[in-house]
Structure 1
């Protein structure tokens, strides 16, 4: 979801004649940031009492745990795709944009991979990932801290740039020499200091307590990730922003689907769920988690077996890199406009403090 999605104009609570309409509570969204002190306490306890056992046994990134990907990485991307693809009216509205972006992804990451260095493509994907994650979180709180444009974008770009350097330092650390890694740490640290300064400058625009809490929670999201990166707790450094981001997205998806389908199911998924007497709240999470598990666990081997049987060709990671990579990039793109004020999605979203 993009920052423009949650501008001052878009964040106002919508009136509804339906007394059963769900609303998104900003206090609930703020509560998701509790993962920050929890991860910091884990790191401190590991150093004080557990002799670094946690650090030694955690992988260098959450993506090395299939369970992590099934729980936090892939499902919300799959859920976003299901939400878009299962509603014909949404596909009709965004068809041309989807076709354009599909062609762009094929050209850049498909054809382009033949002559563009892998690290360049990786950096593009990494920068886009960090931008997507932080723009969503900073954008969600924009209507609460009501920053002017210059202040909002100052905070956003300092956060995103610092996050990109942390991301590079974690995922490319094995291909960097000592001096390069030190420079990355130095630049990321400087950007974090600048981010703190910009937050101190901007917080005067936040006239409510919850607005200030949201502002500093987003600052702490980046600062905690940088601190855990410096302490070499790479798993926790990535877990913090990923969990907050994914959980926030699911809140929006579930509220959207409840408000859209609870009176009369509008697509085949919810019509079938109604026949099975499944609560609307669990339909999209269950569908996306199950599909993510199947694709992550069995997708590559299934595709490889079929291509070997019929064509005598071995294709590795067609699902985990090809399909899921495409869905991830498409997710970053579509979420930048599907939740904007006036979009079909937004007719089913309302907010409360």
Structure 2
């Protein structure tokens, strides 16, 4: 995504909110916060957090309700509730649904679990870092080769870190060492290339964004090496999820604030619910219901009607499908020329 900075006062009537680059940059403050917590814990708390926090924020239902699931559901709501978008991307959605069914449905019968896990891990890391580098691209104004170089070094390092954390209990010592050294070498290369590429960035603000994306990976690597796995995953997840949510809320406010364009916002208008809170309320409510009760409800229903309990039909099946579809659609729905971008503008 190449973002053009448009002052708010210069926006046409159908665009009342802008995505603030300063706000997006502020989200990276989670990096020094987590590093400070790691320092305090290792220096004064005898590693209490390291020993008691799980290896992933996903183990906390509250985290999934606040950060993990809502932005995926919000993405699905934006796409599914607007018939214009559904018609525009209909073929993409159908083909991707079939691909997911084949690879993760039928394919799971033949493809080893670890291979599928690594595939999803690679896709997840690419999705997270492509979003952040893509947003920074418009600010940094890097040439194509520099953008691709920093992006793929970040993605490669991120994949090794992700796999090393989530498969640590099933890796041999030699494999774990190889992953750590590979990630370290890629991080070192990322820093060196960052120093070289920053010469192409014309503004101080752009340089700050470039290094924020680099430190996103470096901090995760450092926290992983120090065995603070929870923080190593939390840093990129929080930045990514919060950034995405800012885009969704801005889009829906600009699209629906003057005249509601779909049934959700028309109903909200009749109930005097402000347009700004509609998407957060819907997505957080659905995230809570699906994460907390979805599996139990489906299991209860299938047992009552068919005498068979289907486990994790919602958290693994439905939400897994929505997550994979989210990774796919986000690669093109926010690009220049897409119908989404008519309702997005940027300001510094």
With normalisation by structure 1, the TM-score equals: 0.96
Q: Which residue of the other structure, out of 203, 207, 218, is the alignment partner of 2:198? A: 203
Partner of 1:26: 21
SS in structure 2 of the partner of residue 141 of structure 1: helix
1:311 maps onto 2:299 in alignment: no
Q: Tell me how far apart the structure 2 counterparts of residues 208 and 104 of structure 1 sit (CA, whole Å).
A: 43
Q: Which residue of the other structure, out of 318, 322, 338, is the alignment partner of 1:343? A: 338
Q: Tell me how far apart the structure 1 counterparts of residues 15 and 186 of structure 2 sit (CA, whole Å).
A: 45
Deviates more, 1:232-241 or 1:16-25: 16-25
Q: Which residue of the other structure, out of 172, 189, 199, is the alignment partner of 2:167? A: 172
Q: 8 Å contact 2:187–2:218 — kept in the other structure?
A: yes
Q: Which residue of the other structure, out of 127, 139, 142, is the alignment partner of 2:137? A: 142
SS in structure 1 of the partner of residue 89 of structure 2: helix
Q: Which residue of the other structure, out of 154, 159, 165, is the alignment partner of 2:154? A: 159
Give the drift of 1:20.
6.5
Q: Tell me how far apart the structure 2 counterparts of residues 269 and 78 of structure 1 sit (CA, whole Å).
A: 14
1:233 maps onto 2:228 in alignment: yes
Give the drift of 1:311.
1.0
1:184 maps onto 2:198 in alignment: no
Partner of 2:91: 96
> Where does structure 2 lack aligned partners over 5 or more consecutive residues?
none
> Where does structure 1 lack aligned partners over 5 or more consecutive residues?
1-5
Q: Tell me how far apart the structure 2 counterparts of residues 126 and 192 of structure 1 sit (CA, whole Å).
A: 18
Q: Which residue of the other structure, out of 249, 266, 270, is the alignment partner of 2:261? A: 266
RMSD: 1.1
Structure-to-structure mapping, 1:313-328, within 5 angstroms? 313-328=308-323
Q: 8 Å contact 2:165–2:224 — kept in the other structure?
A: yes
Structure-to-structure mapping, 1:50-65, within 5 angstroms? 50-65=45-60
Give the drift of 1:245.
0.2
Give the drift of 1:280.
1.6
Superposed CA deviations along residues 73-111 of structure 1, whole A, max 9, x for unmatched, are: 111000000010000110000001000000000000000
Partner of 1:13: 6
Partner of 1:256: 251
Q: Tell me how far apart the structure 2 counterparts of residues 216 and 276 of structure 1 sit (CA, whole Å).
A: 45
Give the drift of 1:274.
1.3
Partner of 2:214: 219
Superposed CA deviations along residues 266-312 of structure 1, whole A, max 9, x for unmatched, are: 11111111122222221111111110111111111111111111111
1:68 maps onto 2:63 in alignment: yes
Q: Which residue of the other structure, out of 40, 45, 64, is the alignment partner of 2:40? A: 45
Q: Which residue of the other structure, out of 127, 130, 141, is the alignment partner of 2:122? A: 127
Q: Which residue of the other structure, out of 237, 244, 247, is the alignment partner of 2:239? A: 244
With normalisation by structure 2, the TM-score equals: 0.97
Distance change (3 Å), C-alpha of 1:75 and 1:29? same
Give the drift of 1:72.
1.1
SS in structure 2 of the partner of residue 277 of structure 1: coil
Give the drift of 1:19.
8.2
1:107 maps onto 2:109 in alignment: no
Q: 8 Å contact 2:14–2:258 — kept in the other structure?
A: no
